[in-house]
A = this chain, B = another copy of it.
Amino acid sequence: MELELTEEQRMLKTAASGFLKKECPPALAWEMREDERGYPPSLWQKMIEMGWTGVMVPETYGGIGGDFMDLCVILEALGEVCAPGPFFSTVVLGGLAVMELGTEAQKEALLSRIATGECIMALAADEEEAWCDASFIKTRGLREAGGYRISGTKLFVENAHVADIILCVVTGPAEGSLSVLLVQGDAPGLRITPLKTLAGERQCEVVFDRVEVKASDVLGEAEKAAPGFDRLLDQAAVAKCAELVGCLQTAFDMTVAYAKEREQFGRPIGSFQAVQHHCADMLIDLDGARFATYQAAWRIAGRMPWSREVAVAKAWTSDVARKVTLKAHQIHGAISFCEEHPLHVFYRKAKSGEVAFGDADFHLERVAGGLGL
């Protein structure tokens, strides 16, 4: 039992946090919400140079060959500053999809491009009436001579507007079967509309209007993607938890610091029992999120059965994300409702992370099933 990061992970974390606190203050995420791309390419370039995009890519493909825990370490650092950019959609969603589903050849081709930052990716899964559950996907991939033709509308596709490759999850032709197709970002028939979101992430509506895909651009085996895709969603949920842990940690640290320094009624507000108890509750929530997340990540990294631990982590972390950032606002008072003050960015990010890849209710139902209910 070793309930802290390894020496290597700690170094990775320290380096990443240090870099991001310097190069990417939380205000950047908010400024970038109206940028066309949604992030500064120079920042993305630096992340690539530091090897983050290759964190989980095997060394043979040009990566640094880390595991899921290393990935979470970087995500936590990114969460600490609410960093904008295509890291999550490319490295987490794209990279893990390729690792879970891809053929050897695809891994070689795609993972190396992810590691070098040549390829930005996006995952098109959710639809108007299908959310975090592939069994309700209606977008169909029709088999045609030499490949597939996709028709349907995908929603909440993060970074589709800048993606080189969009992974499109389709069903058919066999009832309930699932395939993941590699669609080029500039494929004819693709219509991409960015949506305006709470936390400024670039989610898009993506219409696939008879988009053609070559037979070789099926990720892995056609119509057999369901189990691998479920594994991907689980990993994405935990990756989101790691990001949230970073986000909540900063909001918490800001709040404790403020409580020590801000005076009212002639004493620091942190000396009032009500404020102290708020802070204590925040710490319970945050510590719980951290360990639940690390436990799930550790199981994923070791490829141990992880279903319950993933659901526990996302259910708990989703719930406390709101609670912690709400208390942070309460303790900060009026100042935190100014656009200039960074806290609202964390409050937004916390809610967005709460919902992403299944909120607490969603994962609690999974836990219930696991209990035998």
What residues make up the interface of A, taking CB atoms closer than 8 Å to B? 272-274, 277
Docked CA distance A274–B280 (Å): 13
Report copies per complex.
2
**B residues within 8 A CB of A274?**
273-274, 277
Q: In whole Å, how far is A42's beta carbon from the nearest beta carbon of chain B?
A: 49
A selection of 5 A-B contacts at a CB cut-off of 8 Å is: A272-B273, A273-B273, A273-B274, A274-B274, A274-B277
Mostly, the A contact residues are helix
Q: Which 5 A-B pairs have the closest CB atoms?
A: A273-B273, A273-B274, A274-B277, A272-B273, A274-B274
**B residues within 8 A CB of A273?**
272-274
Docked CA distance A273–B272 (Å): 8
CB nearest to A275 among chain B residues = B273
Q: In whole Å, how far is A272's beta carbon from the nearest beta carbon of chain B?
A: 6
**B residues within 8 A CB of A272?**
273
CB nearest to A277 among chain B residues = B274
Docked CA distance A273–B273 (Å): 6
Q: In whole Å, how far is A181's beta carbon from the nearest beta carbon of chain B?
A: 39
Docked CA distance A272–B272 (Å): 10
Q: In whole Å, how far is A280's beta carbon from the nearest beta carbon of chain B?
A: 11
**B residues within 8 A CB of A277?**
274
Docked CA distance A272–B226 (Å): 57
Docked CA distance A253–B347 (Å): 39
Docked CA distance A272–B273 (Å): 8
Docked CA distance A273–B267 (Å): 15
CB nearest to A274 among chain B residues = B273
CB nearest to A273 among chain B residues = B273
Q: In whole Å, how far is A221's beta carbon from the nearest beta carbon of chain B?
A: 43
Q: In whole Å, how far is A200's beta carbon from the nearest beta carbon of chain B?
A: 33
Docked CA distance A368–B277 (Å): 35
Docked CA distance A351–B274 (Å): 29
Q: In whole Å, how far is A179's beta carbon from the nearest beta carbon of chain B?
A: 37
Q: In whole Å, how far is A7's beta carbon from the nearest beta carbon of chain B?
A: 41
Docked CA distance A274–B277 (Å): 8
Docked CA distance A277–B272 (Å): 12
Docked CA distance A272–B277 (Å): 12
Q: In whole Å, how far is A156's beta carbon from the nearest beta carbon of chain B?
A: 26
Docked CA distance A328–B274 (Å): 19
Q: In whole Å, how far is A311's beta carbon from the nearest beta carbon of chain B?
A: 23
Q: In whole Å, how far is A229's beta carbon from the nearest beta carbon of chain B?
A: 33
